Amino acid sequence: MPKRSLFLLAATTVLVASLIGTSTPAGAAPTRDDAPIGTVDVVIAAFTYLPDPVVERAGRRVTAINVDSTVVNAIPGHSITANNGAFDSGVFRGVRSFRAPRRPGLYPFHCIVHPFMRGLLVVTR
Phi, psi dihedral angles at 120 (to 5 degrees): -135, 130
The CA distance from 78 to 82, in Å, is 13
Residue 110 CB, shortest distance to Cu ion, in Å, is: 9
Site stretch for Cu ion (CB under 5 A), options 10-18, 21-29, 94-102, 109-117: 109-117
* Cβ 41 vs Cβ 16: under 8 Å: no
The CA distance from 13 to 117, in Å, is 20
- Determine if 80 is a binding residue for Cu ion (CB under 5 A): no
Residue 3 CB, shortest distance to Cu ion, in Å, is: 22
Phi, psi dihedral angles at 122 (to 5 degrees): -100, 115
- Determine if 114 is a binding residue for Cu ion (CB under 5 A): yes
Residue 84 CB, shortest distance to Cu ion, in Å, is: 19
- Determine if 110 is a binding residue for Cu ion (CB under 5 A): no
- Determine if 118 is a binding residue for Cu ion (CB under 5 A): no
- Determine if 111 is a binding residue for Cu ion (CB under 5 A): yes
In eight-state DSSP terms, residue 43 is: E
Residues that bind Cu ion (CB under 5 A): 78, 111, 113-114, 117
